[in-house]
Structure 1
Amino acid sequence: MGLLYAIIIGAIAGWLAGKIMKGGGFGLLVNIILGIVGGAVGNWLFGVLNISIGSGAIGDIITGVIGAIALLFVAGLFKK
């Protein structure tokens, strides 16, 4: 069940990050994958910065979106 939850939250986060980063996206499928990976990056980043967003699905989506935006930004640097 945890894997399915991570995929669903990551998919939502990747889609939202693609919408926020206009022109920085790589298409729906890659944005979803980046959202899943972005969840892990967001958790790591917030852990390093000692920031707590909260628990639950909304906190996980916010963390995933911020992580996915960071990944899309870095990936966009290499895309050019």
Structure 2
Amino acid sequence: MPEGILSWILIGLVAGALGKLIMPGRDPGGIIVTILIGIAGALLAFYLTPLLQISLTQTWHHYLAATAGAVVLLALYRLIIRRRT
């Protein structure tokens, strides 16, 4: 099971790709921005799950939490960018 921030960053790379599959479409910034948002979503999950007292016991739980964080951040990113243009 991933314990440190570095492993969550690596999970974030996968979560960014999964987030893009879940929310297809054109994003300003392309795949690099999507991967960075995935990493940020994974780090968000890393910090929020203990605060919300959510126990991540299996490795796939970590991927699920990171992907959920990536999807939430990707949706927020799209909302912010749309309002700017």
1:17 aligned partner, one-letter code: G
Q: Counterpart of 1:16?
A: 18
Aligned length: 77
Q: Counterpart of 1:28?
A: 31
Query: Which protein has the larger Cα radius of gyration, Structure 1 or Structure 2?
Result: 2
* C-alpha RMSD of the superposition: 2.1
- For the 8 Å contact 1:18–1:25, the answer to whether it is kept is no
Please give the residue correspondences for 1:46-57 in structure 2 after superposition, counting only pairs within 5 Å.
46-56=49-59
Q: Counterpart of 2:43?
A: 40
1:13 aligned partner, one-letter code: A
Tell me how far 1:40 sits from its aligned partner: 1.7
Tell me how far 1:48 sits from its aligned partner: 4.2
Structure 1: gaps spanning 5 or more residues = none
CA deviations over 1:48-80 (Å, ceiling 9, x no partner): 443334242x22211110001110111111111
Q: Secondary structure at the match of 2:13?
A: helix
Runs of 4+ with >4 A deviation: none
- For the 8 Å contact 1:25–1:72, the answer to whether it is kept is no
